[in-house]
Amino acid sequence: MTSKGEKMALPVGITLDRFIKRNQGAFQFASGELSQLLRDIALAGKIINREVNKAGLVDITGALGTSNVQGENQQKLDVIADIRFIRALKNGGEVCAIITEEEDEIIYTGNDDAKYVVAIDPLDGSSNIDVNVSIGTIFSVYSRVTPRGTKATMEDFLQGGRKQVAAGYILYGSSTILVYTTGAGVNAFTYENSLGEFFLSHRNVKSPEDGAIYSVNEGNFDDFYDYTQRYILNCRKRRMSSRYIGSLVGDFHRNLLKGGIYLYPPTPHYPQGKLRLLYECYPMAFIAEQAGAKAIDCESDILDVKPVSFHQRNSIYIGAPKMIEELEQYFKERGDYVIKAARFEKVGEN
């Protein structure tokens, strides 16, 4: 029988650092460098967690008054997160180049001998900052294809989703959680503030086969193509729960654990979709696939979409496999001609 003293001194769990070291051999591209890179991302996540928690006290909420390369208004924490992650990856020494949502060009770290490049959205859902709603960080890691010792190029980043060696996200909410995969399953770690450590909290995460939650900005319903509208109407008819907070990380994380589907469809204003392929769609699709979920656009698996530019946009439907398969039936019913004709009608005005 366990004594009261023993209960009070029960183990706190496995730290992220220890887990990475123990499981390094399971990495698709096992190396100490990748382990260090993940630790660097975790360190920056701890710092952002601190900044988010004190945001209302030190005047770092609200708009900065500038726009990023996407033409979107930057929040103060957008810029802070961008700086923190770039600095952590530069100082860590395992990354030779970075692309982020906030910058137009490749960011060189000065570590030309490093073997990895990182694509990152430093702060997803930043419009939620001022109202204390969940936000997050999304990242994707590739082994460079250009020779070590040289400057990284676009080629290193435009390898395609199947070439990712690691991907993950950090959710800053009621608790801060880091979720990542290296191609050997998905594991999640919850941050323990008093100890300053991420501890394993969700081992080998698996998506439910089906779900009863759909996440979409229904304010754009009238702009969606008919197949998406019909799918949403069917969700309503079946009394499914509509849950959407405007943060990809937050919505995806909930649906991954509870069973659901996240939809960001094309519209006439964004005929190719709005989310960024390299640092939003690819990493989330990699995680989804490793957890037994699915991620598609209107024509193929997200991981098979061909990248052509750093800030390329894409539509995405991601979630429980049965829900995605049901949605695919709506795609088949409309036929390829309908969506392609609609795309050319909107995009091909030139």
Secondary structure (DSSP) of 250-271? HHHHHHHHH-EEEEE---SSST
- The pLDDT tens digits of the residues spanning 184-200 come to 999 999 999 999 999 99
For residues 320 and 255, what is the distance between their CA atoms, to the nearest angstrom? 8
- Per-residue pLDDT band for 62 (boundaries 50, 70, 90) equals very low
Alpha-helical (H) ranges within 9-165 are 16-22, 32-53, 76-92, 154-157
For residues 155 and 145, what is the distance between their CA atoms, to the nearest angstrom? 7
Q: Is the pLDDT of residue 322 over 90?
A: yes
Q: 122-133 burial string, b = 16+ CB within 10 Å, else e?
A: bbbbbebbeeee
Identify the domain boundary among 170, 202, 234.
202
- Which residues lie across from 198 on neighbouring strands? 191
**Is residue 125 a known part of a binding site?**
yes
pLDDT of residue 97: 98
Q: Which two tokens stand for residue 225?
A: 């193509």
pLDDT of residue 340: 43
pLDDT of residue 33: 83
For residue 226, being part of any structural domain is answered with: yes
Q: Which two tokens stand for residue 217?
A: 């900005």
For residue 208, being part of any structural domain is answered with: no
**Is residue 5 a known part of a binding site?**
no
- With contact defined as beta carbons under 8 Å apart, do 260 and 213 qualify? yes
**Is residue 244 a known part of a binding site?**
yes
How distant, in Å, are the alpha carbons of 29, 89, 90, 111, 308 from that of 151?
A: 22, 16, 14, 9, 19
- The pLDDT tens digits of the residues spanning 4-33 come to 555 444 456 899 989 988 877 666 555 678
**Is residue 127 a known part of a binding site?**
yes
Span 289-294, mean pLDDT? Answer: 98
**Is residue 123 a known part of a binding site?**
yes
**Is residue 217 a known part of a binding site?**
yes
Task: Report strand pairing: 116-124 vs 95-100.
Answer: parallel
- Name the residue with higher pLDDT: 125 or 157: 157
Q: Is the pLDDT of residue 158 over 50?
A: yes
For residue 4, being part of any structural domain is answered with: no
- Specify whether 178 is located in the same domain as 274: no
Q: Is the pLDDT of residue 145 over 70?
A: yes
Identify the domain boundary among 202, 222, 237.
202
- Which residues lie across from 98 on neighbouring strands? 107, 118
Span 166-174, mean pLDDT? Answer: 93
- Specify whether 93 is located in the same domain as 196: yes
Stated pTM of the model: 0.88
**Is residue 169 a known part of a binding site?**
no
Span 59-63, mean pLDDT? Answer: 49
pLDDT of residue 14: 93
- Specify whether 47 is located in the same domain as 176: yes
- Specify whether 290 is located in the same domain as 196: no
E strand or H helix at 329, and its extent?
Answer: helix 321-347
Identify the domain boundary among 202, 223, 258.
202
**Is residue 191 a known part of a binding site?**
no
For residue 159, being part of any structural domain is answered with: yes
- Specify whether 226 is located in the same domain as 198: no
**Is residue 297 a known part of a binding site?**
no
**What mean pLDDT is reported for the chain?**
87
For residues 267 and 346, what is the distance between their CA atoms, to the nearest angstrom? 9
**Is residue 264 a known part of a binding site?**
yes
Q: Which domain holds residue 281?
A: 213-347
For residues 307 and 146, what is the distance between their CA atoms, to the nearest angstrom? 17
Amino acid letter for position 121: D
For residue 339, being part of any structural domain is answered with: yes
- Specify whether 188 is located in the same domain as 244: no
Amino acid letter for position 153: T
- Specify whether 74 is located in the same domain as 100: yes
pLDDT of residue 343: 42
- Specify whether 175 is located in the same domain as 237: no
Q: Is the pLDDT of residue 255 over 50?
A: yes
Q: Which CATH number is 220's domain given?
A: 3.40.190.80
Q: Which CATH number is 53's domain given?
A: 3.30.540.10
Q: Per the structure, how many domains does the chain have?
A: 2
Give 3-state DSSP helix, strand, coil % of the chain, rounded to 5. Answer: 40, 25, 35
For residue 104, being part of any structural domain is answered with: yes
- Specify whether 190 is located in the same domain as 256: no
pLDDT of residue 28: 54
pLDDT of residue 59: 52
- Name the residue with higher pLDDT: 79 or 146: 146
- Specify whether 62 is located in the same domain as 141: yes
Least confident of 29-33, 76-80, 112-116: 29-33
For residue 207, being part of any structural domain is answered with: no
- Specify whether 173 is located in the same domain as 242: no
DSSP state of 306: P
- The pLDDT tens digits of the residues spanning 115-136 come to 999 999 999 987 777 777 889 9
- Specify whether 181 is located in the same domain as 280: no
For residue 92, being part of any structural domain is answered with: yes
